[in-house]
Amino acid sequence: MNPFRWSYRTSFFVGFLICAALLGFALYAEHVLGMEPCPLCIFQRIGFLFMAAFFLLGALHSPRKGGRWFYTGLVLVGAVFGMAVAGRHLWIQSLPPDQLPSCGPNLGYMMDVFPFAKVLKMVFTGSGECAKIQPILGLPMPFWTLLWYILLSVWAIRATLQRATPRLRL
């Protein structure tokens, strides 16, 4: 079966499965491989979770024409958010050791103590634990997430632009 000829519903369901697999791998890396997620890693997971939700809703609803762009737009919102977080994470990891921000409290503590806007500001200004590079297949985890955000964005747009194949009438 040619994946470039799949229906919108099938393509969006595959997008959901990919997001679910990526989130599953993140949990595997955390609990089995012992890779403790930093606040930026957790925000990247939220981006994939957001995308997974709208991939699944788009697959279940399978709208026509403009409705498809609604779900694709929401998937792209999650992807752009994730790309921004992953890009910031890669930038922090590229800093020389003398320019790294100091380590801050964990995300759970920040969410309990500070208002959400303050938490966002603290997370995006970075912290020292986000600079720790834990490679997967030789590349840092934020690089892989950035790559997957881009691929899934292209996947969603391709599924939306693809015309339905005409049905054979007998």
Give pLDDT tens digits for 38-60.
788 888 999 999 999 999 999 99
- What mean pLDDT is reported for the chain? 82
Which CATH number is 3-160 given?
Answer: 1.20.1550.10
pTM of the model: 0.80
- Report how far residue 149's alpha carbon sits from residue 170's, in angstroms, rounded to the nearest whole number: 42
pLDDT digits (tens, 9 = 90+) for 109-130: 777 777 777 776 666 666 656 6
Give the whole-angstrom CA distance, residue 162 versus residue 159: 5
Give me the phi and psi of 135, to 5 degrees please.
-75, 145
Residues of the chain under the 70 pLDDT cut = 1-4, 97, 99-107, 120-132, 163-170
The token pair that represents 94 in the structure block: 């590229």
